Amino acid sequence: MTPSSAARARAERPSTTDALRVILATFVPKPGHEEAVRHALQAVLAATRREPGCLRFDLYVSFEPVTTFRLFEIFKTQQAIDAHRDTDHYRTFRAAVMPLLAAAPVVMKMAPLDAVQFP
């Protein structure tokens, strides 16, 4: 990367202090535990959506090749994520879901690059 292209890439990157925090978390249940994982995920939705820093907290499922759940999350700030992870409902969810998973959740942390504006 040339010095000018590196500078351009930095300029195009969203500010880490201003950017919304976007998370895509993937959960693959152990065989036979799909409904229990779905229940654990659904149990955390309402309380999380009421958190002041939560803008989106959506649950998706795919069935092929195996049942996989994904949480699409958008928080206003890193502090909002930290506060979320410090709630009783998050800790209860983690304790319930972790033993039911085939592997540790895969968590992608992202920042908007070209996205619809949120209020």
Domain ranges of the chain: 19-107
Q: Confirm whether pTM is higher than 0.85.
A: no
Count of helix runs (H) and strand runs (E) in the chain: 4, 4
The tokens describing 107, both together, are 């968590």
Cβ 67 vs Cβ 61: under 8 Å: yes
53 burial type by CB count under 10 A (0-12 exposed, 13-18 middle, 19+ buried)? middle
- Residuewise pLDDT in 10s, the chain (119 residues): 555 544 444 445 444 456 789 999 999 999 999 999 999 999 999 999 999 999 999 999 999 899 999 999 999 999 999 999 999 999 999 999 999 999 999 999 998 888 776 55
Class of domain 19-107: alpha beta
Place of tokens 């996205």: 115
